[in-house]
Each structure stands twice: as C-alpha cells, then as structure tokens.
Amino acid sequence: MFEEARLKLTGWYLVIIMTISLGFSAAVYMGANEELMRFDNAQRIRQLRVDSVNTFLIQQGLPVPPGNETQGLESLALARKRIVCSLAIVNLAILVVSGLGGYFLAGLTLDPISKMVKEQKEFISNASHELRTPLTSLKTEIEVALRDEKMTVKDAKILLASNLEDVNSMQKLSNYLLKLHRFESGDADIKLKKMDLASVISKVVKEKTPYAAQKNIKIITKLSKVDIKGNEEYIAELTGVLVENAIKYSGKAKKIEVTTTKEGTFIVRDFGVGIAEKDLPHIFDRFYRADTARSKSSVEGYGLGLSIAKSVADRLGVEIKVKSQPGKGSQFCVQFPVAS
Ligand code: ADP
C-alpha cells in the first residue's frame, strides 16, 4: 500500500518539476531564438553591404574576397539544433535526478505515516487481545452455568462474582484506552497555572493509601510546599500512575517514598522488584509489560499506565526520568517548572 503511494507521490513530484523545467526550457529557447534571429539579421545586412562592395570591386576589375550568402542561414539552423539538443539533455538529466530524488523524498514523507499506521495496527491488535481474555472467560462461565441443572443460588453467586471480576477488568481497560486517547490526541484543553505541587500530590497519596494498606505498604511522604506551573488534573493523573505502580511492584518491601522539593522536583521511590535494564527503554510503550510483571499473576495491569503518564508529561512539557535496579527498587522523578 505504501509502495504504491510512494510511486504516486514520486509521479506528482515529477509532474511538478518537469512542468517547471519544460516551461523554463521553452522560455530559454524562445529567448535564445530571438537573439539568434537578431544576430542573423545583422549578418544579412553585413552580407548585403559586402555584396555591394563586391559588385563595385567587380565593376572596377579588382579582385573580390570570397563571400558566401547562405553561410548565415546554415549556422542559424545549426545553432537552433544545438540549443534544442542541450535543453533536451538538461531536461533528461532533471527527469532522472528528480525521479530518484522524488522517490527518496516520497519515502521520507511517508515514513512517519507508515510508522503511525503500523503502531495503530499493533495497538488495535493488543487491545483486542486484552479484551478477548476476560470475554472468553465470561462466555465460558456463563455457558457452563447454563448447562448445569443442579446449580444452587450459592454457586450462582460465586459465578456472578467471577463474572463481575471480568467485567471490572474490561471496564478498567476501556477506561485506560479512553484516557490514553484523551491525553494522546491532545483534544483536552490544558491550562497551565500557578499551583501548589505538594497539595495535589498529598490528595492523590490519600486516595491511594487504602490500596497500599491492603498490601501492608506504608507511604512515607516528604512534601515541601512549592508553587509550580502546572495543571492539577494532569498532575494528579501522573502521580496516580506512579504511586500505584510503586505499590503494585513493591514485592516484599513495605514502604514507598513520595517526595517534593522546594525546587519543584517530584520523586516516587519504591524498594520492590525493580526494572531490568533491557526493559527500561520500553516501559513507556503502550501495552509493554516487563517479564517480572507478566509472570506474577498477582500484579495485574495492561501496560498502559506509564504510556498515559508519559502522554500527560508531554502535554505538561516535563519529562519522567527513571532509575531502577532489579531486586532493589525504582525511582521515578519529574522536574516541574517553579512558578515565579
Ligand atoms: P502496568 O503496570 O499496568 O503493567 P505500566 O505502563 O504502568 O503498566 O508499566 C509498564 C511496565 O513497567 C510494568 O508492567 C512493569 O513491568 C514496569 N514498571 C512500572 N513501574 C514499575 C515499578 N515501580 N517497579 C517495577 N516495575 C515497574
């Protein structure tokens, strides 16, 4: 599909370049022809003068220098031929060079689009795959239950609870996808204003505390008040992802640290499973999950949290930096611009 588009684009580049080149050549030819005609007329006048001098010399019985009246016409035709030939060679060279150059440029132009389409395809395939698992489980459970004539109310309740888990899982995925779309598409209207970083983070930490408590994890906060330029909703979203991940991937560790400094630095640190060096460049990719996360069925997720966090950071104009050591823990750090 993209090869055909590339050839078509090259064709259009060629049409434009050759139209300009041929137009320019026609103008050059006409200009040169006019000059040649003027030169030829001057030659003819000079020849007429020479002829009259010759006639005079003949009449006087003096020797006549050799003259040739047709010489001017012949060189004019030759000069025209030469100009046409040169223009044809130049145009041919332009056709070949612009054909090759156009093909190369068409490739460069289409490359980002081709990458985007590839990513989109991968995204759809991954999303369908993630949806298929809970859907299949839901369908199987319902089918088995329908065939079970001896099913008691207690069994039905257990089944419904399991179904609800699958539905929750699908709802979570669709929420992630909607968020990702919202923050990636840039539709959301982002307004940056002066705000206290510590107070937003403190709110999010409070929201996540029950989840941490379920896992016996203590969230230790060291929040210095600092006014930064940001957006509350976006920073809350980013903090939510980082704090939730720190809790999720804490393993046996029983504490995480959330810090803000007076310089506008925000740090979330855990002492859990850590991230292998080979995974670090990919953790912000959509649907990417490191092996440690996949193999442990207790750590649920879709590999979308950090993609959302990155989109949010991009929109806020900040960068998320990660330091991690497998088995020792991870540190996610964001530097916000301090408001004056
Ligand atoms: P999810 O947590 O849903 O799998 P994320 O996009 O939030 O997806 O994270 C991507 C991957 O990065 C995770 O699967 C995990 O392997 C790794 N990761 C993220 N945060 C941490 C962390 N604090 N500690 C260890 N691994 C992490």
Q: What are phi and psi of 168, to 5 degrees?
A: -60, -40
279-316 tens-digit pLDDT: 999 999 999 998 765 554 568 889 999 999 999 999 99
Q: What is the pTM of this model?
A: 0.75
Query: How far is ligand 1, taken at its centre, from the CA of residue 43, in Å?
Result: 88
Q: Which atom of ligand 1 is nearest to the CA of 246?
A: 23
Predicted confidence at residue 73, as pLDDT, reads 56
| Arithmetic mean of pLDDT over the chain | 90
- Cα 271 from Cα 329, distance rounded (Å): 4
State in Å: Cα 173 to ligand 1 middle. Answer: 15
**Tell me: the pLDDT tens digits for 67-94?**
555 455 567 888 889 999 999 999 999 9
Counting ligand 1 atoms within 8 A of each CB, the residue from 275, 299, 307, 332 with the most, and so the one to mutate, is 275
**At 138, which amino acid appears?**
L
Q: Phi then psi for 259, rounded to 5 degrees?
A: -130, 145
**E-only strand ranges, the chain:** 193-196, 218-223, 227-230, 255-260, 265-270, 320-325, 329-335
Q: Whose CA is nearest to atom 25 of ligand 1?
A: 274
What residues pair up with 329 in beta bridges, in sequence order? 325
Query: Does 325 score more than 70 pLDDT?
Result: yes
Which amino acid is present at 177? L
Distance 268 CA to ligand 1 centre (A): 13
Taking the centre of ligand 1 as the mean of its atom positions, its distance from the CA of residue 165, in whole angstroms, is: 21
Reference 271, options 290, 249, 289, 244; nearest CA is 249
Is the pLDDT confidence value at 61 over 60?
yes
Pocket test for ligand 1, best of 289, 294, 304 (most atoms within 8 A of CB): 289
pLDDT at 299: 80
Tell how far the Cα of 250 is from the centroid of ligand 1, in angstroms: 11
Average of per-residue pLDDT across 148-162? 91
Q: b/e map of 2-17 (b: 16 or more CB within 10 Å)? A: eeeebeebbeebbeeb
Per-residue pLDDT reduced to its tens digit, 6-50? 999 999 999 999 999 999 999 999 999 999 899 888 888 888 888
Residue 135 has pLDDT above 50, yes or no: yes
Measuring from atom 20 of ligand 1, which residue has the nearest CA? 245
Q: At what angle do helices 305-316 and 153-185 cross, to 10 degrees?
A: 30
Say if residues 202 and 243 touch (Cβ distance below 8 Å).
Answer: no
Q: List Cα–Cα distances, 190 to 186, 234, 314, in angstroms.
A: 9, 8, 11
| pLDDT attached to residue 183 | 87
> pLDDT tens across 191-218, in order?
889 999 999 999 999 999 999 999 999 9
Ligand 1 centroid, distance to 293 Cα (angstroms): 7
Which atom number of ligand 1 is nearest to the Cα of residue 270? 23
% pLDDT > 90, the chain: 72
pLDDT (average), residues 236-253: 95
Percentage, residues of the chain above pLDDT 70: 94
Q: Which residues line ligand 1 (CB under 6 A)?
A: 241, 245-246, 248-249, 270, 272-275, 283, 288-290, 292-293, 301-307, 330
Q: Which residue has a Cα nearest atom 8 of ligand 1?
A: 303
